[in-house]
């Protein structure tokens, strides 16, 4: 490692909301392997978390209580408090594998977002780059740290693959562009930041060697928060003008005639209050095919690249300005 990539330039970023026993577990797990590495904990807790960590004697612990509204705001606060050049965002119910920090430092470069691999028990069986299913315990009483690290060391071959999609990553602090807690209350903030990293031409990698064990002790997926998740997906469309396929971000406004409340509610996320593209829709003629065109309208406009008045089925388009504002959305302020 060069001078920059020494252990004293690394910081763990951990927001917490109660769950004291797990937070203490994660803190002690890190300290066992790295007695002097920086740990930043920001807390919005009502249990014993604040009292314990406020009185703890640890020169390399940064602890702060807060009343910010979302997890994203908490992460941003914790990153701002870090005094180190390299950060890793983790949850407060994780155990880091052997040589976790060294592996991150050996792989990480400026302008890179490095997602580490989290290993989870088979509670939520979906897998993708950065997640593996192996059962080494489902709570603090059953977690088998020795078996987990045996697994880490058996699968120790370094491999960096393309990808990254969750809030489990490391980067240089200067490359942290901020989580958008104003748009997203609980869901989709991970999709949003990774999209912004891709649009910003960052190098997106997943390390299969740097592993943590995630006990999934307190996850939003254990609750019925479907209404919040649905609103977050709507907010994603409002922000970007698409949900999955990357498109230019043009501001466009809706002129709806012969509409109804249900149609208006369906169309609303896809339009702005003003813009250089005005779409007139006759609700009495509106079809599913035309709704698909609305969802892909930025691509249609981009391919045309023409100012003027156009008809698309029963849709009436008045294009006075074509301006892609994508770059304005990349860094969250």
Residues with Cβ < 8 Å from 20, sequence gap 6 or more?
A: 45, 47, 48, 49, 52
* DSSP state for residue 206 in the 8-state scheme: E
Distances, alpha carbon 210 to alpha carbons 4, 77, 87, 117, in Å: 19, 25, 14, 6
SS3 241: coil
**Mean pLDDT value of segment 229-238:** 96
| 101 in Cβ contact with 31 (< 8 Å) | no
- For the full predicted model, state whether its pTM sits above 0.75: yes
Segment 77-127, tens digit of pLDDT: 999 999 999 999 999 999 999 999 999 999 999 999 999 999 999 998 888
Instruction: Give which of 259, 251, 263, 260 is closest to 297, Cα–Cα.
Output: 251
Q: Would the pLDDT of 223 be above 90?
A: no
Q: Would the pLDDT of 133 be above 90?
A: yes
pLDDT score of 2 = 59
Residues with Cβ < 8 Å from 153, sequence gap 6 or more?
A: 98
Going by pLDDT thresholds of 50, 70 and 90, the confidence category of residue 320 is very high
The mean pLDDT of the chain is 94
Q: How far apart are CA 231 and CA 228, in angstroms?
A: 5
pLDDT score of 34 = 97
Q: How far apart are CA 209 and CA 226, in angstroms?
A: 34
Going by pLDDT thresholds of 50, 70 and 90, the confidence category of residue 168 is very high
Q: 3-226: what fold?
A: Spore Coat Polysaccharide Biosynthesis Protein SpsA; Chain A (3.90.550)
Residue ranges of domains in the chain: 3-226, 245-329
**Range among 29-33, 126-130, 244-248 with highest mean pLDDT value:** 29-33
pLDDT score of 159 = 82
Paired tokens of 310: 């156009």
Bridge-based pairing of strands 86-89 and 169-172 is antiparallel
- Residue owning tokens 């891709």: 198
Distances, alpha carbon 87 to alpha carbons 79, 100, 107, 113, 114, in Å: 7, 13, 13, 11, 10
Segment 205-218, tens digit of pLDDT: 999 999 999 999 76
pLDDT score of 87 = 98
pLDDT: which is higher, 6 or 262: 262
**Mean pLDDT value of segment 266-283:** 97
| CA-based max dimension of the chain | 70
Segments of the chain assigned E as strands: 10-16, 38-43, 61-65, 86-89, 94-96, 112-120, 131-133, 160-162, 169-172, 203-214, 252-257, 277-282, 308-312, 315-319
Bridge-based pairing of strands 315-319 and 277-282 is antiparallel
Q: How far apart are CA 210 and CA 206, in angstroms?
A: 9
Residues with Cβ < 8 Å from 151, sequence gap 6 or more?
A: 119, 134, 136, 211
Show the CA angle centred on residue 204, arms to residues 172 and 162, nearest 5°: 145
- How many alpha carbons lie under 13 Å from residue 43 in its C-beta half-sphere? 23
Bridge-based pairing of strands 160-162 and 308-312 is unpaired
DSSP codes, 14-45:
EEE-S-HHHHHHHHHHHHHH-TTSEEEEEE--
Q: How far apart are CA 236 and CA 189, in angstroms?
A: 9
């Amino acid at each position: 490692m060069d001078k920059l990539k020494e252990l004293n330039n690394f910081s763990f970023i951990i927001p917490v909301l109660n769950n004291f026993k797990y937070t203490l577990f994660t803190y002690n797990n890190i300290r066992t392997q790295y007695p002097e590495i920086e740990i930043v904990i920001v807390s919005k807790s009502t249990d014993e978390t604040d009292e314990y960590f406020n009185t703890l004697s640890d020169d390399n612990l940064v602890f702060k209580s807060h009343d910010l509204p979302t997890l994203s705001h908490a992460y941003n606060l914790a990153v701002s408090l870090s005094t180190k050049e390299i950060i890793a965002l983790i949850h407060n119910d994780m155990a880091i594998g052997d040589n976790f920090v060294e592996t991150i430092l050996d792989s990480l470069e400026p302008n890179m977002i490095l997602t580490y691999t989290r290993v989870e028990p088979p509670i939520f069986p979906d897998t993708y780059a950065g997640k593996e299913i192996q059962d080494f315990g489902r709570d603090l009483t059953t977690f088998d740290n020795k078996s987990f690290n045996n697994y880490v060391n058996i699968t120790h071959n370094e491999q960096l693959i393309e990808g990254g999609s969750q809030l489990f990553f490391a980067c240089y602090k200067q490359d942290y562009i901020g989580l958008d807690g104003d748009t997203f209350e609980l869901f989709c903030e991970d999709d949003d930041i990774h999209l912004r990293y891709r649009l910003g031409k960052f190098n997106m990698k997943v390390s299969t060697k740097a592993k943590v064990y995630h006990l999934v002790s307190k996850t939003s997926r254990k609750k019925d928060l479907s209404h919040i998740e649905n609103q977050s997906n709507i907010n994603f469309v409002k922000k970007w003008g698409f949900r999955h396929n990357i498109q230019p971000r043009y501001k466009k406004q809706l002129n709806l005639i012969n509409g109804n409340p249900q149609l208006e509610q369906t169309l609303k996320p896809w339009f702005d209050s003003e813009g250089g593209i005005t779409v007139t829709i006759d609700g009495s003629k509106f079809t599913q095919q035309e709704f698909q065109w609305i969802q892909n309208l930025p691509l249609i406009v981009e391919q045309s690249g023409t100012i003027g008045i156009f008809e698309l089925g029963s849709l009436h388009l008045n294009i006075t300005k074509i301006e892609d504002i994508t770059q304005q959305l990349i860094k969250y302020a």
